[in-house]
Structure 1
Amino acid sequence: MKPARFAYFQPDSVDEAVACLRENGGEARVLAGGQSLLVLMNRRQIRPTALVDLKRVRGLDYLVRDGEGLRIGALTRHIDIENADDPQIRTAFGVLPESARLIGHLPIRTRGTFGGSIAYADPRAEWCLLAVLLDAEVVVVSEDGSRTVPAKDFFTGAHQSAARWDEIVAEVRFPHPAPNAALVEFGIQQGDLPVVAASAAVDLDARGRIASARIALGGVADRPVRANGAEKAAVGSVPDGRLLDHLAQLASKELDPPADPRTDGHDRKELATVLVARALRASIARGATAGTGATPRTGATPGTSATAGTGRQADHQKAEDR
């Protein structure tokens, strides 16, 4: 099929882009790679009256350290994150380049953008999940100026966000290093979005006990979610295998996943339990390998684990857009 007729704009700046949105009164869509948007338009599932293409806008393509944190411009492509060679980024935010490899296939990673994926707000997407896990902040811009929205508040439903119709996602900020963060996922077919994904970031204290734990899941609700009960239960405990399995069970008990044509809610809860346990083990193993935590008592093999135990060795997601 072909899309319905639409007007097409190629602004040269953010100011011009947001002016185009305002002029089209909520019927325009932003094109920032198009790996999701154009598919929906070709199927006529959405029929915007105008497209505002950001490809000529300069200054939104970057991946830079900001003190201890990291800033990613909206037009940064998945492949640029995957190939990031800054050793500080690799050390402090290694989960990002590792997870980029899970996104779709190479052509998608080459064209799709980080900000587009965030704006599209798919509840299974890796970038959305990691934004919630790592307490990221989303910067959106309109003719009225810019504002910052915590990731936990930005995603409001499946393909829905706190961004208004006249706002553009400009940047995502990760305020704190996450050297131990890990992401695992399960998908039915290579290149698809995962059925369920789980991520964890565990820090141990000098005694080898859990000082803090963050756990987030995708594909189990209409947005990425944190497992707050399991996070609280983890603190102060020795991270042995029994504890991690218990935390995974706690995390899944908090869930009421929706069914879809491929899986029912029970299947997703089972997957969530398995993947949370794997993500926790991977995070603790990473800390041990980097020397930032005590030797794990989980039986996990230290190493980079973005794809560990996913049921396949690479690629996922369809990337981008909004």
Structure 2
Amino acid sequence: MSKIKRQAGEISLHGNISYKDAKEIRNKINGDITCIDFAKLSSIDYASAILLSKYRAKFKNVSKNVASIFDLIDDKSIDRNLKSRKNELNFIQFFGKNIVDFFRNTLSLSEFLGEFLIKNLKALLNPLNFRFKELSNFIKDGGVNAVFIVLLTSFLIGIVLAYLGSAMLAQFGASIYIVDIMGVLTLREVAPLIAAIVVAGRTASSFTAQIGVMKITEEIDAMKTMGLDPFGFLVIPRVIAMVFALPLVIFLADVISILGQMLVAQNILDIGFNEYLARFKDSIELRHLYIGLFKAPFFGAAIAIIGCMRGFEVSHNAESLGQKTTISVVNAIFCVIAIDAVFAIFFMWYGV
């Protein structure tokens, strides 16, 4: 039933008029208007009142409540362009807020780690209940599918480092030492760190988005209702998959990065592949490779745990999903760099 009726030049309003009726108001109120009757009007919102305000002289039977809305529109003392002031934090408030957020995130991570360790221990004690099919899928998604972008990044970084190193060493007539320096640097730090950062940006966000969408669509609540443990189904397979997948990814990153350095050495320093490999075999100890691979499971576990933790923190809206996905990537990359720094100091301290 129409809320706006027109007979000749007279308009009568009925019921509750809102912004949803704006189109009908524009269609009915055109041409010559003799009067607009508010006798049968129950209420009107601010948006519709603005559309009718220019016909104020033709109003009749306007109730007190409706008239107050039009008086508000006509009030010249109100600054329509006034914007609310942003509540900006001063330095002390900003510093305090970040400290509180840090301790809150640390507590949340500790709680998540504690639950993971307990549930993981139970899974190891009951291997028959472990979901090996999902484990293989997560190894593929988080590790195998990331190989191409990791190899491309490592190859380019290897070329860049070799170019810089060759330019500096050539000044001292020590070009052959590029094999020693870049070999150790690549195996111990560069290739593992680059591979882990690329995987962190790709996989942590993927895990957060997957679990976050499941939470928004209430699939996790459905799992709980069915008596299933979401933590055991969603977190443990992902973490174990990344622990197994990342050493392989880092090993391939080592190989392709060294290949990039070999190409630069041959074209810039005239060091052939055979000479490079012979020097590499004689100068680079195998322990440097082991050190880089030793850090890989810790990188993988940190990436998966943070990705899953942020996924469970998603609220039931799309905005929260975007925020937690972004935070997940930042946290995962930071943890990878922090873990690498701790291991670097530890190995240097003990002369490994």
TM normalised by structure 1 equals 0.24
**Structure of greater relative contact order (alpha carbons < 8 Å, 6+ residues apart):** 1
Q: Which has the larger radius of gyration?
A: 2
TM normalised by structure 2 equals 0.22
Counting strand residues as a fraction of each chain, which structure ranks higher?
1
Counting helix residues as a fraction of each chain, which structure ranks higher?
2
